[in-house]
Amino acid sequence: MIDTLQIKITKNSNSRLAETEFKDIPFGKIFTDHMFVADFEDGEWKNFEILPYGPIPMSPAISALHYGQAIFEGMKAYRLPSGEISIFRADKNFERFNISADRMAMPTIPEEIFMQGIATLINMDRDWVPTQENYALYLRPVMFATDDSLGVRASSNYKFVVLASPTGPYYTKALKVKIETKYTRANEGGVGYAKTAGNYARSLYPFAQAQKEGFDQLIWTDSATHSFVEESGAANVMFVLDGKLITAAVGETILNGVTRDTIIALAKDKGITVEERKVTVAEIIAGAKNGTLTEAFAVGTAATVTQIGEIGYEGELYQLSDSSTRTISTGIAKELNEIRNGLAADKFGWNWIV
């Protein structure tokens, strides 16, 4: 990273750190003392600042509110045994952020702004990085359109903000999920591969309906036939079928998850056969019936690896193996946690020390 930005720093004079209870802290509800902000105006990025965390004044006419130009990322910082702070695979998040920006007709952001903004924020709020096992500082870079005028067109102005939020485990139990066969998360030719706000908005209603039926989450299927598995909730989904790790290949309707990529790399390194391909609902249900489906789990930044204990499909509920007996997903998750927490060698070069 090239240290080229001139970042104006306004320190928060009223830190909330001392009054924050880190035990059992809820995801995404507590924020650190500061945030990084930058503006895209007149065709260039400018106004780089660290500010006290708080409201940002904006017009109710900003185009993000009306036409949906908003993208974000999710990443985590960890405190290593040495006391250093490491961000896990920040380069992949930077890369995907700009893929999302390009798809949503938004300006890409230079690497030095993305990386140095995050590093400066981390260094301002280092004491907010948790020390407990399975805890981290969640980072949320977000960009949204700020033109204060109506009209269906790409905005000329944007704001980039990085928030930081200490967090513990996202899920604490295996999930009961439903294979969704009516609603869809994404469709061919759409924006499913971009991490854009609208993708999550369209998932909220079917998720609420599934919750009424007693499910924790959904497994999304393709929009054309509902025959192929795509994602699970807001995460990628993986299965161990006949001893092989299988997952849907990334494409227009599937987000190229950083945790997904990490799990695949670790699995291959262990000599586990990995298949990235179309995964049919039929083979998953058949595997659940005959016992060849031994593991199912969601993977994402917030939850890392979350076991799936039950799968609902067309009115039937299929019980999977006890998550405590699973070896492939739990073994990979253990290695991943050890690498990003500095307890194992970082042979892939994934940790960025800030």
Confidence of residue 1 (pLDDT cuts 50, 70, 90): very low
Q: For 91-129, what is each residue's pLDDT tens digit?
A: 999 999 999 999 999 999 999 999 999 999 999 999 999
The per-residue pLDDT for range 45-69, each reduced to its tens digit, is: 999 999 999 999 999 999 999 999 9
- CATH architecture of residue range(s) 175-340: Alpha-Beta Barrel (3.20)
Which of 23-27, 78-82, 223-227 is predicted with the least confidence, judged by mean pLDDT? 23-27
Q: DSSP H helical segments within the chain, as ranges?
A: 63-67, 90-103, 111-124, 197-212, 258-269, 281-290, 328-340
Model pTM score: 0.94
What pLDDT, on a 0 to 100 scale, did the predictor assign at position 171?
77
**Local confidence band at 302 (pLDDT 50, 70, 90 cut-offs):** confident
Q: Do 79 and 130 touch, CB atoms closer than 8 A?
A: yes
Average the pLDDT over 30-45 and give the result: 97
pLDDT above 80 for 3:
no
Count the Cβ atoms, other than its own, within 10 Å of residue 25. 17
CATH hierarchy code of domain 8-169: 3.30.470.10
Mean pLDDT check: name the lowest of 2-6, 99-103, 132-136, 281-285. Answer: 2-6
- Return the C-alpha torsion angle 283, 288, 289, 291, nearest 10: 110
- Per-domain residue ranges for the chain? 8-169, 175-340
Contact 301, 136 (CB under 8 A): no
Q: State phi, psi for 204 to the nearest 5 degrees.
A: -70, -40
pLDDT over 60 (residue 258): yes
Average pLDDT over residues 183-198: 95
pLDDT value at 143 more than 80: yes
Nearest to 159 by CA among 55, 28, 64: 64
232 with 279: CB under 8 angstroms? no
Say if residue 229's pLDDT is above 90: yes
Angstrom distance (rounded) from CA 129 to CA 123: 10
Instruction: Calculate the dihedral angle through the C-alpha atoms of 58, 164, 121, 20, rounding to the nearest 10 degrees.
Output: 110
Interior CA angle at 218 toward 254 and 233, to 5°?
45
Q: What does the DSSP 8-state code read for residue 76?
A: E
Q: Which pLDDT score, from 0 to 100, does residue 25 have?
A: 86
What per-residue confidence (pLDDT) applies to 133?
A: 83
Whether residue 10 has pLDDT greater than 70 = yes
Indicate whether 226 pLDDT > 60: yes
Give DSSP secondary structure letters for 290-337: HT-EEEEEEEETTTEEEEEEEEEETTEEEE---GGG--HHHHHHHHHH
Average pLDDT over residues 309-326: 95
Helix (H, G, I), strand (E, B) or coil at 245: strand
Among the listed residues 322, 326, 311, 330, the one whose alpha carbon sits nearest the alpha carbon of residue 219 = 311
Query: Span 172-196, mean pLDDT?
Result: 95
Per-residue pLDDT at 2: 42
- CA–CA distance, 263 with 276 (Å, rounded to integer): 12
- Between residues 286 and 28, the one the model is more confident about: 286
Tokens at 114, concatenated: 């993305």
Q: How far apart are CA 292 and CA 344, in angstroms?
A: 32
pLDDT-derived band at 23 (thresholds 50, 70, 90) equals: confident
| Rounded alpha-carbon distances, angstroms, from residue 55 to 34, 52, 63, 251 | 12, 9, 18, 36
What is the mean pLDDT of the segment spanning 209-230? 97
